[in-house]
Structure 1
Amino acid sequence: MTYFMLTTQPFVILGMPRTGTHYLEELLNAHPDVLSNGELLNRYDTNWPDTNRLQRSNRRLLELAYLRYPVPKGKDEATYIGCKINQPQFQERPGFFEEMALWPRMKVILMIRGNTLESLRSLVQARQSGQWLRYGAGNDSVPPPQVALSVKACEDYFRASDDFHRQVAESFAPKNVLSIDYEGLLNAPVKCLEPVWKFLGTSVHPCSGTTTLQRQEVRPLEQTVLNFDELKRHFLGSPYAKFFQAAKDGRSLEKTAIA
């Protein structure tokens, strides 16, 4: 079943990998008026029955996302329609970001993780372990693998994050962009969702807590990045030195982050 409607409010959830975009989407989809259909540019995302959609032009793909979108059972009345896209996916789709920025009344929810090194470390861990998400109340499974990160990989990732955030700020009117703090969403989702409902223009919906993303990595960066000290020395005195600073309790800056 698909809809062709011009009266809906389009939105997109953007972020670097491992910044809580999936968690935010799960919370938003608990609202009866909100429908976010997963990763539009991920060919393996099962939310999209059209497996050949990425062969369409950028314009046609956006029409599929916001005019002819799939409607799951129970979401027939949804009027706030979105999807989520991570920064690397735009690199594989030249011109798509620019086309998306021209879509009428588009609103952007930008997820930002305080420590970009945590984002990169988590991304590499997920690629190595094959574990991207984990739901539940406990954390008694094997922890993610330790990783070694090259200086170049860190430099490229840090710059890509800065450039992406700048691109979003320069491509959309300030009133159409809402930045959400990754750590705030994890620590206080109810409070964090309040400005999201207001930004979208929908009613407030209680956060039931039934969607709980389990922490995959509870160890600090010093214990999970094998060459942490080498990287710390390299970035000393740079704008990225803050990513290698430890909190007073000896843990990394993201004391409660979900990997």
Structure 2
Amino acid sequence: MTDSHIPPPAPFVILAMPRTGTHYLEELLNAHPNVLSNGELLNPYATTWPDKHRLLRSDRELLELAYSCCPAQSDKKVTHVGCKVNEPQFHDRPGFFAELTRWPGLRVILVVRENTLESLRSLVQARQTRQWLKFRSDNDAPPPQVRLSTADCEAYFKAADDFHARVARSFTKSNMLEIEYERLLREPATCLAAIWDFLGVPALRFSSTATLQRQETRPLEQTIENFHELRRHFSHGPYARFFDVGERGRAVAID
């Protein structure tokens, strides 16, 4: 029997474009004894959710499943429970974002990648290889190069800009925390300290126990076949910075 005097876990959600390190972030968050993040709520292939038919539910019922009837963890005293949603997953459920904004007390962790081109390149690589995650035990063979069209790049860059702006205007500043994935890799302890403070859970000393690994470590010009063609196309527009491969602006792909 549930103790009615115990308050329900405080809700949070991780929002991001695809391939921005949210799996890695969740692995770090779940190391906390009071935090439970259950993966992609709207992904029909996510194994974290025991209800295989959950996507037949209404948007409100899905959020109730995520925050009021979350999967039990007998070894944790969960005070904060979350899930994550990637931008494309909102397309199939156009009313879900609005329902999310109405959920009481929701805290939002927005994960951004400094170079959106790296996110797109990584997404195409993952689709082609069907390898979405890499663990310590996997081989070290690099993913194959990809070829990107200018139309796909423009559409993806705009989708990322629109999504980040939508999140920023839909949630109050006090209820939203932006985490840059590149910084999470460089300074995980600092980023996690900010998250613990944002969620309101006791600080936890960072311990590097993550099993996920980078899938791609080569620079963009070595992973995109037509990189220089794309750079010429975008050279005089707002997205030229994504193709800056000079010594000062060299971007190393990190997945």
**Same structural fold, with TM-score higher than 0.5 when normalized by the shorter chain:** yes
The separation in 1 between residues aligned to 2:3 and 2:166, in whole angstroms, is 31
Query: C-alpha displacement at 1:142, in angstroms?
Result: 1.5
Residue equivalent to 2:54: 53
The separation in 1 between residues aligned to 2:131 and 2:86, in whole angstroms, is 17
Residue equivalent to 2:78: 78
Query: C-alpha displacement at 1:207, in angstroms?
Result: 1.9
Q: Deviations over 1:136-188 (max 9, x none)?
A: 28x85221010000111100100000000001011101110000011010111
Q: 1:2 to 1:121 in 2, by over 3 A?
A: farther
The separation in 2 between residues aligned to 1:3 and 1:174, in whole angstroms, is 33
Residue equivalent to 1:243: 242
Q: 1:61 to 1:6 in 2, by over 3 A?
A: farther
Asked whether 1:146 is paired with 2:142, we answer no
Residue equivalent to 2:13: 12
Q: Deviations over 1:234-259 (max 9, x none)?
A: 1111110000001417x832x3x422
Residue equivalent to 2:113: 113
- Aligned letter for 1:99? E
Q: 1:73 to 1:6 in 2, by over 3 A?
A: closer
Query: C-alpha displacement at 1:2, in angstroms?
Result: 9.6
Q: Deviations over 1:179-201 (max 9, x none)?
A: 00110101111111111000000
Question: Which of residues 249, 252, 257 in structure 1 aligns to 2:250?
Answer: 252
- Aligned letter for 1:170? R
The separation in 1 between residues aligned to 2:3 and 2:42, in whole angstroms, is 20
The separation in 2 between residues aligned to 1:42 and 1:244, in whole angstroms, is 31
Query: C-alpha displacement at 1:6, in angstroms?
Result: 5.2
Q: Secondary structure at the match of 1:125?
A: helix
Q: Deviations over 1:216-235 (max 9, x none)?
A: 11111111101111111111
Q: Deviations over 1:119-140 (max 9, x none)?
A: 0000100111111111228x85
Structure 1 moving runs of 4+ over 6 Å? 1-5
**Alpha-carbon contact 1:136-1:214 (below 8 Å) kept:** yes
- Aligned letter for 1:91? H
- Aligned letter for 1:258? I
Structure 1: runs of 5+ lacking an equivalent: none
Residue equivalent to 1:218: 217
Q: Secondary structure at the match of 1:13?
A: strand
**Alpha-carbon contact 1:3-1:70 (below 8 Å) kept:** no
Cα RMSD (Å): 1.9
The separation in 2 between residues aligned to 1:169 and 1:3, in whole angstroms, is 37
Residue equivalent to 1:96: 96
Q: Which moved more, 1:164-173 or 1:212-221?
A: 212-221
**Alpha-carbon contact 1:39-1:85 (below 8 Å) kept:** yes
**Alpha-carbon contact 2:14-2:111 (below 8 Å) kept:** yes
Asked whether 1:184 is paired with 2:183, we answer yes
TM-score, scaled to structure 2: 0.94
- Aligned letter for 1:21? T
TM-score, scaled to structure 1: 0.93
Q: Secondary structure at the match of 1:193?
A: helix
The separation in 2 between residues aligned to 1:27 and 1:84, in whole angstroms, is 14
**Alpha-carbon contact 2:36-2:80 (below 8 Å) kept:** yes
**Alpha-carbon contact 2:8-2:68 (below 8 Å) kept:** no
The separation in 2 between residues aligned to 1:213 and 1:49, in whole angstroms, is 23
- Aligned letter for 2:153? C
The separation in 2 between residues aligned to 1:193 and 1:247, in whole angstroms, is 31
The separation in 2 between residues aligned to 1:61 and 1:247, in whole angstroms, is 46
Asked whether 1:130 is paired with 2:126, we answer no
